[in-house]
Amino acid sequence: MLEISNVTKTFNTLKAVDDLSLTVNDGEIVGFVGPNGAGKTTTMKMLTGILKPDSGTVNINGFDMSKQPLEAKEIIGYISDSPDMFLRLKGIEFLNFIADIYKVPTDVRRERIEIFATRFGLMDALDLPMQNYSHGMRQKMMVAAALVHNPPVWILDEPLIGLDPKSAYNLKAMMHEHASAGNCVLFSTHVLEVAEKLCDKIVIINHGKDIFYGTMDELTSRYPGKDFEQIFLEMTGEKVE
Amino acid sequence: MTTYRALTKAFIKSLQMSKSNDKRTRITMKVIVAIVVLFIFIPVAIFCALMTYALVDGLQFFHIEDIGVAMVFHMICLFTLFFGFNVIFSEFYFSSDIEYVRPWPIKAWQLVAAKFSVSYYVDNAMQIFMVIASLVGFFFAAKPGVFSYISSFIAVLTLPIVPLCYCGILSMFIMRFTKAVKNKESVQRIIAVVLAVIILLFVILFRVLAASAEDAVHFFITETNSPFVESMNKLFPMVHFISRAIALESVPDLLIYILINIFAVALMLFVAEMVYFKGFENLVANAKAKTRDFDKLMELSIQRTPFKAYLLKEIRILFRTPAFFTNCVIPNFIWPIFVMVILKMQTYDVSLTALRVYNMNSPKTVGFFLIMGSVVFSLIMTALNSISSNAISREGKHFQFMKYIPVSYDTQWDIKVLVSVGLTYFGIWIFLIPAAILIRVNPLYVIVSMALSALSVVFIAYMGIYLDSIQPKLVWDDELSVLRENTNVALCMGIALGTAIAIGAVGYSFYAFLKIRLLLVSLALFFVLAILNLLVLLRTAKNGKRHIAEQEEM
């Protein structure tokens, strides 16, 4: 379970996240949607310990990120918004490096690497430097690396960007499997259809504040006769020409 | 021109280091910059000014003072050519912004003009400083008229243009017509080879000249002209005209100088229009590497400790990134060549027999030079390879990785220091130990030197990473920028030089003038270095981790 309570983050004079509270329970997939600059990535960076909140608390499975950061970080699988990471390493070296950092035993990592390599079509690319990969291949490698230690809490920042249809389908299936096994997933996306179909709950954020948190049914019941896209645009004050 | 201006502005903006919001950090940076100006910039400027003054003053007697100016200008042009080649290649072909800009409706010459301006901007801070200092030396020696000042002002701004144009044209031809170039790495290897050849030619030249002092003097200065300047005039023809314009206040020479510069830029832009984009197409990622099968890869996938894995990652990135390899790793292992060249140029007898005899006759002096030399050299080398002073900046866009993995900042910090200490110390002693054995230096002196050298390396390694943690350069376009545009590297060098000069001067005074016993001098040195280490470790423990935790520029 992950929980943030009354979290605020300001950059210079800009309040990127404003008194935000959010809970993702075990067994849930929660979609994080909002316009560009709404505060999604900032929130995720505070959840993973990359940014320190000005106020408020972040808890990951009971570990307070400010007091027990290493314990909290150990149980997170995080995909950042950029897949251009350690491009001088080969794919297999990168996966092993991450597996070492998260102390994954030899037999477990071999099994997990094989699963990811098969599902994402990475077999032939593992022995090549990642700088030779396409954007999509790099994104697949980031997904595999983030999940190689089988973390109970997944925090994924736009994980589907750049993935081919098969890999996107596989990742979505894995998210379902993971939540069904009693773990939690928080992921951000700009594709409203994906959020609508995949998530148990939706968080809509705008100007750093959550303007909705609940199930799709709860959302649509508030706006009868409108689809998710229309509701989203209306809630975020976006005018359609 | 609007496109050119917009591109140049955008490229230059992306180079600049961001300013910290923390007042304490800003003050610390100002203090450190002041130290570097004091220990690096001012001494270099004084050297250039004095050299020009001495040359012009001497040559005035023969009424060929323009040769003195020309000689200094040629040296500056060579300096620009050496370092500009790397900068130009990085800007023209390695910067990631090109991939974004290429689909835009921009002509090759516009893009190259903007990239050239950025290179000029990046490469020029030190050169302009040197040109100004040289001109000050000239003014004091020659006491020229107003026109000289105008010509000098033009020289300050434009002298690096022609050498940089050479670099630009050469890089474009290499990219367009060299089939061997398949990826960035092979291009950077060519740069390393070209630089090595140039250095080698210089070494040979100096060795030839060192054979006869008379020839050497004749090569540089004669009563009618200088063969050195004559030869260099063929490479940099504009220098002849600008030095005449300054020294002899000649208007036609100034006009010819300006025309040569315009011609060089026009030629480069013409070449750009012809070959730049085609050359860029040659820069394709090499995807044809041989790969091992999956089972073999799995066999090699064995669990390591996080410490070992992180250490391995640091070493792999240092060794596999050409810019880091050539600037951070290689210097640790080629320094003996430069030491030999310098000693040869000074016409010292550095044969093994001569050194052994010297050691037998004056063992304490040899011991003193080994102890002091290894300390001073360790301080400078640790800063020079910049492994620690760009350790945080090297992370660049993936700095956030340091923050979300379950490895403490202390551990990551110590691993980065360990890489710096390990490579530097290994690079120094892998040569000094065999040398000491061959010369038969007293083993006690070797042990003392090794201990003091270790303290020196650790001190600068921690100092370097501490400086880099205050305000790391995390936004960079290509890896070379981390080294060339990162002020932390220069700051660390300033501190290392300052410490080395102070320790060297005090140590020499104690031993040579006050006749204090060598072991007592070593003991004093041990305490000084131990205190310096303690101070930097305390500072690091207090603030280093905080700097990483509070760093939010990503």
pLDDT in tens, B319-355: 888 788 888 998 898 888 777 766 665 666 667 788 8
Residue type, B440: R
Listed in sequence order, the residues at least 6 apart from B195 whose beta carbon sits closer than 8 Å to its beta carbon are B82, B85, B86
* Chain B contact probe: residue of A9, A96, A107, A133 with most B CBs at under 10 A: A96
Chain B residues inside the 8 Å CB shell of A61: none
B539 at the A interface (CB within 8 A)? no
Of A48, A97, A126, the CB nearest to B404: A48
Q: Measured between alpha carbons, how far is residue A176 from residues A32, A78, A103, A108 in Å?
A: 16, 17, 25, 21
Q: In what order do the strands lie in the sheet with A2-11?
A: A14-24, A2-11, A55-60, A63-64
Yes or no: say if B26 and B18 are a contact pair by the CB < 8 Å rule.
no
Of B400, B406, B407, the CB nearest to A50: B400
Among B188, B158, B359, smallest CA distance to B260 is for: B158
- Can you tell me the mean pLDDT for B9-29? 64
The pLDDT tens digits for B71-98 are 778 877 887 887 777 778 778 877 767 7
Q: Judging by DSSP bridges, how do beta strands A63-64 and A76-79 pair with one another? A: unpaired
Yes or no: say if A80 and A51 are a contact pair by the CB < 8 Å rule.
no
Among A89, A102, A139, A96, smallest CA distance to B297 is for: A96
pTM: 0.72
Of B291, B301, B320, the CB nearest to A96: B301
Rg (CA), chain A: 18
* Residue B295 banded pLDDT, cuts 50, 70, 90: confident
Nearest residue of A to residue B395, measured between CA atoms: A86
Question: Phi, psi at residue A35, to the nearest 5°?
Answer: -65, 170
B353 at the A interface (CB within 8 A)? no
Of A82, A95, A105, the CB nearest to B397: A82
Chain B residues inside the 8 Å CB shell of A52: 549-550
DSSP label at residue B391 = T
DSSP label at residue B21 = S
B514 at the A interface (CB within 8 A)? no
* Residue B64 banded pLDDT, cuts 50, 70, 90: low
Contact yes or no for A106 and B303 at CB 8 A = yes
Q: How far apart are alpha carbons B420 and B349 in whole angstroms?
A: 33
Q: Enumerate the domain spans of chain B.
A: 36-287, 363-552
Chain A residues inside the 8 Å CB shell of B403: 48-50
Query: Most confidently modeled of A78-92, A159-173, B228-242, B400-414?
Result: B400-414
The pLDDT tens digits for A91-128 are 999 999 999 999 999 999 999 999 999 988 888 889 98
Contact yes or no for B404 and A78 at CB 8 A = yes
* Residue B186 banded pLDDT, cuts 50, 70, 90: low
Q: How far apart are alpha carbons B190 and B516 in whole angstroms?
A: 51
Of B287, B294, B400, the CB nearest to A123: B294
Q: How far apart are alpha carbons B413 and B547 in whole angstroms?
A: 11
Side-chain-side CA neighbours of B459 within 13 Å: the count stands at: 29
Residue type, B127: Q
Q: Judging by DSSP bridges, how do beta strands A63-64 and A55-60 pair with one another? A: antiparallel
Among B475, B473, B185, B417, smallest CA distance to B321 is for: B185
Q: Judging by DSSP bridges, how do beta strands A14-24 and A2-11 pair with one another? A: antiparallel
Contact yes or no for B552 and A49 at CB 8 A = no
